[in-house]
Chains A and B, each alone.
Chain A
Amino acid sequence: MFIKPYGDTSNDGAVQLSFTLPVKNCGRAKEAARLYVQKLGFQKVDVVHAAPLSEEFTFFVAYGKTDVALDYDKVEYAEAVDKYMSMDEVNDFIKTHFKRKIVIVGACSGTDAHTVGIDAIMNMKGYNHHFGLERYPMIEALNMGSQVPNERLLAKARELKADAVLVSQIVTQKDVHIKNLTELIELAEAEKMRGKTLLVVGGPRVNNKLAKELGYDAGFGPGTYAEHVATFVVKKLHERMIGKK
C-alpha cells in the first residue's frame, strides 16, 4: 500500500513546515522561502507567514504538497513487545516460569544527570499511576540513580547477578547518548555479558530500532511504563530459557 500525507483529501500530500532563513524579511525573502520548499520536493508551495526575528533572520510557515509516496508494506519496525502484561500478570508469569525473583539493575549512566525517567520506571511510586519495578513482588530492582559510570553499572549488575540492566539516556545533544551507549555495549561485550544479561535502553529520543542497531536487546521511548519493560524482560528471559532447553 502506497501512502502519502493526508490534509483534507486522500493522497493530497499536504505538509506543514516552519523554519528560519538567514535573510532580512522582505518580498524577496518570502520568494526565497517558497523556492526553498519547492527544492525540498514540494509542489503548490504556499508561504503563509513570514516574521522577522532580527535584521538578519526571518521565520516562515509554509504549506506544500508532495508527490512522494511510500510503500507501507516495506516498512519494517518491531516493537519490543506486541502485547503488554499488567503488573499482576508479570508477577504471575515470573512465579509460574522462573520460581525465583528476577533481578534488574538500572541507572542513568555517563554524564547524564536526569533521574526522573529511570525513577519513573524503577521507583516504587512509578509514574502516572503506573507502579515502578520496585513495587513488583517478584522483581528485585535496584536503581543506582544518575551520572553512574558504565563500569559501575555493569559491575553492580555482575555482583547482583542481574537478569537485566536498564540504562536511561535523556541528553542527546551532539549525540552524547550514542557515544555513551556504544561505550556501554563495548564494555558489556568485553565482560561477556551480552547475550546473557538483557541490556535495555530508554529515553525520550530512544526507540526499539535505534536500540537494536546499537546492540541492545530493546529500546523504549516516551510514554513508557514499568509494565512495558517488565513484560519485555520476563518474556525475553523466558524465551531464552526454553530456547536453551
Chain B
Amino acid sequence: MTPVKSKLGLSRAKIDKARELAAAVTAPVQQFIDRHTTVTIERATLRLLGADGANSDGVPVPNLIAQQCAEKLSGGASLYYVNALVKLGKTPAELNKAVAGGLDLSQIELTDRKAIQKKADELIKGLDGRIAGNVTHRNAKLRQYKDKVKSPLIYVIVATGNIYEDVKQAQAAALQGADIIAVIRTTAQSLLDYVPYGATTEGFGGTYATQENFRIMRAALDEVVDKEGRYIRLVNYCSGLCMPEIAAMGAMERLDMMLNDSMYGILFRDINMYRTFTDQYFSRMINTAADIIINTGEDNYLTTSDAVEKANTVLASQLINEQFAFKAGMPARLMGLGHAFEINPELKNGFLYEYAQALMAREIFPEHPLKYMPPTKFMTGDVFKGYAMNTLFNFVSKATGQGIHLLGMLTEAIHTPYLQDRHLAIENALYVHNAMEDFAGEIEFRKGGIMQKRAQLVLDETIELLGEVKRHGLFTAIETGMFAEIKRPRDGGKGLDGVYEKSPEYWNPAEAYLKRKLKIGK
C-alpha cells in the first residue's frame, strides 16, 4: 500500500494493529465459510452455468432445481444440471424450459463424471468469455472517456418501482452529470428467497432486482454513455437472502457496482449470520471476477446509533469488510467501504468531526474507492436547511478525496427524489467540487488540534472495540449487540435452513473457476 503522510497524525503502528485485529476476527469465520455452501450459492452457480427462466407460477428455474436436489445440495446442485445437459443432449435454454415444465433433474441417472466435467468446462469457458467481455467493454469505455471522469464520482438513486419510469429518471440524472445510477430495490426483496423473473413495473419504495431489469437499465445507460462521452455506472443490491445470485446476474449483465456488506443483512435484515457470512464470500468472488466495485453499508450503523459516539463501529466494520473481501480475492481498488456524514447538525464543531472522520477513512484506506453517504437522519422538512447541510457534505467529500459520492437530497425527509431534487443535488455538488478542485492539496491541520485529536480518538476506540470482538469472537460479538446495538442470536434469523455443510464429494465448477481465476487457496 502506498504510504501517505498523515495529515491527522495517525500512527502507522496503530493502523496496522487495527488491521491485524480485524484479520484475527475474520479468520475463524472464514474457516466456517470454507466448509459450507448455501441454497443461494447453489442457485447462483446454476445461474452462472445457464439456468434461467421461471415456471408458470413464477418460481425461478434455479429454485426449482434446488428444491429437487433438497438434501443433495450439500454435494452441489450443478452436478444434476450439467448431468442433465449431457444426458439429454439439450442446450441450457432447452433444459431450462423442460425444468420449468416440470422435469426433475435429481431423478436423472448420473452419467460418466468425465463427460460431466467436460461439459462443465465448456460452460465455464462461455461464462468466462462473457464476464471478461463485460470487463473489457467497461475498461475500453472508461479509457475512451477518461478525461470526463470526476472525482469523486457522483452517485444518485432512482426508486420509482417501475423499471420504465426508472429509465427516464436515470437517463435524465446521467445527462445532468451523475456518474453512477443506483436502482433502489423494492421493500422486502432482501427477504425473498428467490429472485423474481422478468421486467417489473410494481415495486414499493424501489424496483425489483431482476436480470431483465438489469438488462433494461444497462441498455438505457449505455445510450447515454455514447451521447455524453462519459461512462455511466450501474448499481444494484447484492444483499439479502439471494446475495450470490444477484452477484451472478450483475456479473453477466455488466453492472459496475454492487451494495455488498458482510454484516448488513445480519444486523439490519435479521438474516442468519452463518448464511450471510457464507453468501458474502461467494458473492465477492463473483464481484471480483467481474471487476465490480462493492459498496459496504457502514452508514446504516449511524441511523440507529449516534455518529460521534459510535464512529468506531464504522471503522471497525470497514476493517472487517476489508478482511473478508481480501479473503475473497478482492483487491482494495474494488472495495467501496462505506461511511456517512450523519452527525447531529446542532453539535458545536460537528463539521470538524465529520471532516476528521472522513479524512481518517481516506488515510486508513488509501487505495479504496470510499463510498461516502450524505446526511439523512437529521434531514427534516426544512428543505432549505437540508440543502445547506448537503453543501457541507459535498465540501467534506471533495476535501478528503472520497471516491463514490452519494448525493444528498433536499427532500430526504419527505419522499423518494423528484426529478428536480436530483437536479438540485447535482448542481450543488458540481458547484462545490469545481470551486474547490485543488483545495485538498492546500490544507494541513494543526498538530494536536481538534481534528487530529478526533481522528486519533476514533482509531483508539476502534482498536479497543476490535480487541473486544476478537476476545469474544465475531459470532458472540454480534449476539451481544456490539455492532449497531442490535443483538442477533447465531441460530436465529432467516435462512439458516439453507446452509449446508459441504459433503466430501462437493462439486462446484463455478467455485473452482473463481478460485483459480482469483488465485485463492493453494
Contacts and interface: CB of A to CB of B under 8 A. Distances in A.
Contacts of A111: 187-188
A8 B265 CA distance: 53
B420 A116 contact: no
A19 to B, nearest CB: 7
A183 B424 CA distance: 38
Contacts of B377: 116
Contact of A115 (B171, B175, B304): B304
B420 A53 contact: yes
B381 A173 contact: no
Interface in A88-129: 111, 115-116, 119, 128
Interface stretch (B71-79, B329-337, B411-419): B411-419
Nearest to A172: B415
Interface string A125-163: 000100000000000000000000000000000000000
A59 B303 contact: no
Interface in B374-400: 377, 380-381
Nearest to B413: A204
B420 A59 contact: yes
Contacts of B303: 116
Contacts of B381: 204, 222
Nearest to A54: B172
Contacts of B418: 20
Interface in B437-482: none
A112 to B, nearest CB: 9
A128 B306 CA distance: 11
Given A18-B420, A116-B303, A54 B171 contact: yes
Contacts of B171: 54
Interface in A7-35: 18-20
Contacts of A19: 420
B304 A51 contact: no
Contacts of A174: 204
Contacts of A204: 381, 413
Contacts of A176: 204
B188 A171 contact: no
B301 to A, nearest CB: 13
B423 A53 contact: yes
Nearest to B172: A54
Nearest to B383: A18
Given A18-B420, A53-B423, A59-B423, A116 B304 contact: yes
Nearest to B426: A53
Contacts of A36: none
Contact of B176 (A54, A56, A173, A222): A54
A6 interface: no
A222 B380 contact: yes
A171 to B, nearest CB: 7
Interface in B291-316: 303-304
Nearest to B381: A222
B416 A173 contact: yes
A57 B423 CA distance: 11
Contacts, number: 45
B420 A173 contact: no
B239 to A, nearest CB: 15
B419 A57 contact: yes
A53 B168 CA distance: 11
Interface residues of A, number: 21
Contact of A54 (B175, B304, B424): B175
A53 B205 contact: no
Given A20-B419, A53-B172, A116-B377, A173 B204 contact: yes
A82 B415 CA distance: 30
Interface string B140-152: 0000000000000
Nearest to A112: B187
Contacts of B420: 18-20, 53, 59
Nearest to A205: B414
Interface string B205-228: 100000000000000000000000
B470 to A, nearest CB: 28
Interface in B173-196: 175-176, 187-188
Contacts of A222: 380-381
Contact of A53 (B187, B188, B304, B419): B419
Interface string A179-214: 000000000000000000000000010000000000
Interface in A28-71: 51, 53-57, 59
Nearest to A113: B187
Contacts of A53: 172, 176, 419-420, 423
A127 B188 CA distance: 28
Contacts of A51: 423, 427
Nearest to B187: A111
A141 to B, nearest CB: 18
B356 to A, nearest CB: 23
B423 A173 contact: no
Contact of A173 (B168, B172, B304, B415): B415
Contacts of B346: 128
A222 B378 CA distance: 11
A176 to B, nearest CB: 8
Contacts of B415: 173
Contacts of B204: 173-174, 176
A174 B171 CA distance: 25
Contacts of A115: 304
A171 B413 CA distance: 10
10 contacts: A19-B420, A53-B420, A53-B423, A54-B175, A56-B172, A59-B420, A111-B187, A116-B304, A173-B204, A204-B381
Interface of B: 168, 171-172, 175-176, 187-188, 204-205, 303-304, 346, 377, 380-381, 413, 415-416, 418-420, 423-424, 427
Interface of A: 18-20, 51, 53-57, 59, 111, 115-116, 119, 128, 171, 173-174, 176, 204, 222
Q: Which 9 A-B pairs have the closest CB atoms?
A: A54-B172, A59-B420, A20-B420, A53-B423, A53-B172, A54-B175, A20-B419, A53-B419, A59-B423
Given A51-B427, A55-B175, 17 more contacts: A18-B420, A20-B420, A51-B423, A53-B172, A54-B171, A54-B176, A59-B419, A59-B420, A111-B187, A111-B188, A116-B303, A116-B377, A128-B346, A173-B416, A174-B204, A204-B413, A222-B381
